[in-house]
Amino acid sequence: MTGPAPPKISILLPCRDAAPFLPECIASLEAQTEPRFEALVLDDGSGDETSEILGAWAERDARVRRVEREGEGLVPALRAMAVAARGTFLARMDADDVAHPPRLERQRVLLEARPGVAACGTRVRYVPRSGLGSGTLRYETWLNGLTEPAELARDLFVECPIAHPTLMIRRRVFEDVGAYRDFDGPEDYDLVLRVAAAGHDLANVPEVLHDWRVGEHRLSGRSSRYSPAAFRRLKASYLETLLPAGRPLVIWGAGKVGKAFARVWLEGGRARLAAFVDLDPRKIGQTIHSAPVVSPAELPEPRTAGSGSTGAHRPGPPYVLVAVGSPGARGEIRVALAEMGFRELEDYRAVA
């Protein structure tokens, strides 16, 4: 006799002191229109009723499998659940979030229809809406504007282009790139960057299918591994492997974002910066990190810089990192660079 077919999707659901939110999370998974899933759940050392809630869920739903492990932290928990998973696709879920009923089905359909896409997320809605700051709302708008692989590739180094609680990834790819890595940085973004670095496409389902809870209880707001500096260190380490050799590195943006990225870049012992570009006449002519601040008019065009000579004294065309905080400013700089003959990814990238 053959046993039951393995699940299509394995949900990785780590829990720690999640009792206030877990019932709503569970209800959202029970309401999924895609029934062919298993939920791998792990109580990571909770001091509240999380374990009892998970136990009751497992008793009434055979798709729920408890993974036992001492409270060793989020990444060991995720790795343990991934090892136990049987699904073709691995899906993340946070215990304080809510998945809309079609979420798993829409993501499965996308991945099955587009074999070149290795992982996908969905659009999100931050909850509760009261008290959300303007920066959070801008991030939500930015993230929800990325759906197609080219859009995610374009903004890969601005921030993580897939909301981790919505991630669904092919298990084969997940294993090929080395699963979650436990280090002093964001494990979710690191995984996405490794998938992209391996040559795979990323996408997002163009629907809001996940309520993403914000609040002081979230680990991302309390751990240094999710600090802006940790994200920038990670971006710099991957960018270093992608930037073309022999081209002077220029940062467009002499403000807070550009300076912060330059500082992390140089602290890693990487090549010095050739220049900063800025529109502010008060900054032009200054020196930042031993690099001059120049106007856009002083930036050599990529098809003419270094032309007529291949000697060691003629640098190649500049490679530009667009490091500004405002999406509107980023868009304006993209237009300006295109008019100057720069091609995105080949001649410049946006970072933050």
pLDDT score of 313:
43
Cβ contacts of 331 within 8 Å, gap of 6 or more: none
Same domain, 344 and 204: no
Q: Is residue 1 part of a domain?
A: no
Same domain, 221 and 255: no
Helices (H), 70-186: 74-84, 103-113, 134-144, 149-154, 171-176
Where a domain ends, among 197, 226, 255? 226
Q: Is residue 342 part of a domain?
A: yes
pLDDT score of 312:
43
Same domain, 24 and 167: yes
User: How many domains is the chain built from?
Assistant: 2
Q: Is residue 232 part of a domain?
A: no
Same domain, 259 and 146: no
pLDDT score of 3:
59
pLDDT score of 326:
83
Same domain, 196 and 274: no
Same domain, 79 and 222: yes
Same domain, 199 and 319: no
Same domain, 88 and 140: yes
Q: In this predicted model, what pLDDT tens digit does every residue of 48-65 receive, in sequence order?
A: 999 999 999 999 999 999
Quote the domain boundaries for residue 45. 9-226
pLDDT score of 6:
87
Same domain, 269 and 347: yes
Q: Is residue 233 part of a domain?
A: no
Residue ranges in the chain whose pLDDT is less than 50 = 1, 307-313
Same domain, 19 and 76: yes
pLDDT score of 336:
97
**What's the CA gap between 7 and 20, in Å, rounded?**
29
Same domain, 293 and 334: yes
Q: In this predicted model, what pLDDT tens digit does every residue of 95-139 receive, in sequence order?
A: 999 999 999 999 999 999 999 999 999 999 999 999 899 999 999
Same domain, 27 and 156: yes
